[in-house]
């Protein structure tokens, strides 16, 4: 949105960081995930949930529903730069509907591959997405096995 001085401020729903200078040369798959991210939102019900905060201050909240040992549904709420948004979308696309054993094998490099590559200085966004997914799975397993979750509240 424009300020009285004519400069542009980020809208609360827009990415927090200006990365326009380093978007050149990225794959069209990256832009597809960044501009129209998959599986965004907060569901009314979930079996596992996690909020991860990256080294840069960006965050991703991930919610999962599990049925018959498969990740039946995943939703995410990214807050941060365009790379964080794209990585949240990519990880959700990679794991939706997959058996939990396969979900546990997902690596940051898989997220980067889904995006057609990531600059090395933004691989931490892929790490954030994968680590947060792992924490959501941990939350799910804690519920299944009857152990208290790290954070209270659902």
**Residue 125 and residue 119: Cα distance in Å, rounded?**
10
Domain count, the chain: 1
Range of the domain at 133: 26-145
**Residue 141 and residue 131: Cα distance in Å, rounded?**
15
**Residue 43 and residue 39: Cα distance in Å, rounded?**
10
Question: Does the residue 11 lie in any domain?
Answer: no
**Residue 122 and residue 88: Cα distance in Å, rounded?**
13
* 3-state SS class at 77: strand
The whole-angstrom distance between residue 29's C-alpha and the CA centroid of its chain comes to 16
Question: Does the residue 130 lie in any domain?
Answer: yes
Question: Does the residue 105 lie in any domain?
Answer: yes
The model's confidence at residue 3, banded by pLDDT at 50, 70 and 90, is very low
Give the residue-averaged pLDDT of 84-91: 98
- Predicted confidence (pLDDT) per residue in 7-41, tens digit: 334 433 444 455 555 677 899 999 999 999 999 99
- Predicted confidence (pLDDT) per residue in 33-49, tens digit: 999 999 999 999 999 99
- Predicted confidence (pLDDT) per residue in 93-136, tens digit: 999 999 999 999 999 999 999 999 999 999 999 999 999 999 99
Handedness of CA 113, 17, 62, 132 (dihedral sign): positive
Helices 82-95 & 28-35 angle (0-180, nearest 10): 90
Give the residue-averaged pLDDT of 54-68: 96
Question: Does the residue 85 lie in any domain?
Answer: yes
**Residue 16 and residue 135: Cα distance in Å, rounded?**
24
The model's confidence at residue 149, banded by pLDDT at 50, 70 and 90, is low
**Residue 5 and residue 99: Cα distance in Å, rounded?**
53
Question: Does the residue 4 lie in any domain?
Answer: no
The chain-wide mean pLDDT, for the chain, equals: 86
Q: What pLDDT shows up at residue 47?
A: 97
Q: What pLDDT shows up at residue 153?
A: 45
* Least trusted range by pLDDT, from 70-79, 106-115, 144-153: 144-153
79 near 16, Cβ under 8 Å?
yes
Question: Does the residue 94 lie in any domain?
Answer: yes
Question: Does the residue 13 lie in any domain?
Answer: no
Give the residue-averaged pLDDT of 125-153: 85
Q: Domain holding 77: CATH number?
A: 3.90.1010.10
Question: Does the residue 6 lie in any domain?
Answer: no
The model's confidence at residue 85, banded by pLDDT at 50, 70 and 90, is very high
């Amino acid at each position: 949105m424009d300020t009285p001085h004519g400069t542009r401020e980020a809208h609360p729903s827009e990415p927090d960081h200006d990365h326009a200078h380093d978007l050149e040369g990225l794959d069209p798959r990256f832009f597809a995930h960044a501009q129209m991210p998959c599986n965004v939102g907060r569901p009314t019900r979930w079996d596992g949930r996690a909020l991860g905060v990256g080294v840069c201050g960006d965050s991703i909240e991930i919610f999962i529903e599990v049925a018959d040992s498969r990740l039946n549904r995943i939703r995410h709420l990214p807050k941060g730069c365009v790379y964080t948004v794209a990585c949240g979308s990519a990880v959700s696309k990679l794991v939706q509907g997959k058996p939990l054993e396969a979900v546990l094998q997902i690596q940051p490099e898989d997220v980067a591959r889904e995006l057609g590559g990531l600059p090395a200085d933004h691989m931490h966004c892929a790490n954030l997405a994968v680590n947060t997914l792992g924490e959501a799975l941990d939350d799910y397993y804690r519920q299944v096995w009857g152990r208290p979750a790290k954070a209270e509240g659902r």
